[in-house]
Amino acid sequence: MIVVTGGAGFIGSAIVAGLNARGISDIVIVDFLENDQKWKNLRNLCYADYIEADEFYEMLATEHIDWPIETIIHMGACSDTTETDASYLVKNNYECSKMLACWAAEKNVRFIYASSAATYGDGEKGFADDEKKLEELLPLNMYGYSKQMFDLWTKKTGLIDSIAGLKYFNVFGPNEYHKGKMRSFVIKAFQQIGESGEVKLFKSHHPDYADGEQLRDFLYIKDCVDMTLFFLDNPDVNGIFNIGTGKAKSWNDLVNAVFCAMDKKPNIEYIPMPEELQGKYQYFTQADITKLQNAGYDKEQTTLEEAIKDYVQNYLQNDEYLSGK
């Protein structure tokens, strides 16, 4: 049995779909469905059971698990980078992760968890997934720090040598429509173009970057799933790993690809960045995936242009998909 926490969410539901594509359906999905629309991500998935997260953690605490768990893929977390409730983030992203990791270690269960590229902060310390330098990283927001706290805890306890922590960069693609303001800019750009024919991007407040030339490592969800399941297939590959393309692209590149996929002429307006974001904004992210490649991952990744074309033309231009029907 494979447990996928956050299994109704964006990356989690895509991982379950990836497992289904392999013929695997002995899956328990754990999540908080709450009041948003992510429950719709469950409808096309095959799984053995769904359990609300608080009930699942209670089952772990009281040893009321009566099915054999072989692997926990822990994607469940608050992923809102603007969340300011530090106590909430600590409980959700740190304490729950510790509980799961300890339980998995005690039961000899494979444990794969989501960290984040947000742990790298402004990138001054680079983007190498080197466990020896974890303490040097300075996240720019509490979300990133909550992920950093758990990464550091796995190192202090020694668990880092027997589990896999995946630092996801900017993932986009199908199943994210429910995420509100945390959806990728691909879907936001698609909607802006449909509504007004133009896209608004933040101006740069950094002398080294022109407007729209701020750089990100954008990763398509389909490649993200392949990379994640590599760690399911290779249980001896452990430690902290970057999950990205290794090739930074600009916001202008991304938006122009959306216009192209929609067969429209680019029309971009640059607007001031909100003051509350200016000190927390990452101008450059680029995953160093050398460690992942050295571990044996050699699958060719989708280019940004190909990924956006697939996402726009096969998903976003489908009215039923966009409305979550």
Quote the pLDDT of residue 107: 94
The CATH number of 177-216+248-287+303-322, from 3.40.50.2020, 3.40.50.300, 3.40.50.670, 3.90.25.10, is 3.90.25.10
Contacts of 42 by beta carbon, 8 Å cutoff, 6+ apart: 7, 8, 13, 29, 50
Residue 115 has pLDDT above 80, yes or no: yes
Express as a percent the part of the chain with pLDDT over 70. 98
Quote the pLDDT of residue 140: 87
Express as a percent the part of the chain with pLDDT over 90. 80
Quote the pLDDT of residue 10: 95
Which H helix or E strand runs over 171? Answer: strand 170-172
The ranges assigned to domains in the chain are: 2-171+218-245, 177-216+248-287+303-322
Q: Residue 165 pairs with which residues in a beta bridge?
A: 113, 240
Q: Residue 243 pairs with which residues in a beta bridge?
A: 168
Q: Mean pLDDT, the chain, as a whole number?
A: 93
The CATH number of 2-171+218-245, from 3.30.70.20, 3.40.50.2000, 3.40.50.720, 1.10.3720.10, is 3.40.50.720
Nearest 5°: phi and psi at 263?
Answer: 60, 45
Q: If phi over 0 gives left and psi between -120 and 50 gives alpha, with beta otherwise, what is residue 171?
A: beta
Quote the pLDDT of residue 286: 94
The length of the chain, given as a count of residues: 325
At 322, is the pLDDT very low, low, confident or very high (cuts 50, 70, 90)?
A: low
Residue 52 tokens read as: 């609300």
Per DSSP, helices labelled H in the chain are 10-21, 53-61, 86-89, 96-107, 142-157, 185-196, 221-233, 251-261, 275-278, 290-294, 304-311, 319-322
| Tens-place pLDDT, residues 264-306 | 999 999 999 988 777 778 889 999 999 999 999 999 999 999 9
In whole angstroms, what is the distance from residue 156 CA to residue 101 CA? 13
Enumerate the active-site residues.
143, 179
Quote the pLDDT of residue 320: 61
**pTM (two decimals):** 0.94
Measured distance between the N- and C-terminal CA atoms of the chain, rounded to whole angstroms: 29
SS3 180: helix
| Tens-place pLDDT, residues 143-152 | 999 999 999 9
Amino acid found at 168: Y
Residue 133 has pLDDT above 60, yes or no: yes
Quote the pLDDT of residue 66: 79
| Tens-place pLDDT, residues 224-264 | 999 999 999 999 999 999 999 999 999 999 999 999 999 99
Q: What angle do CA 92, 93, 98 make, to 5 degrees?
A: 100
Q: Residue 171 pairs with which residues in a beta bridge?
A: 219
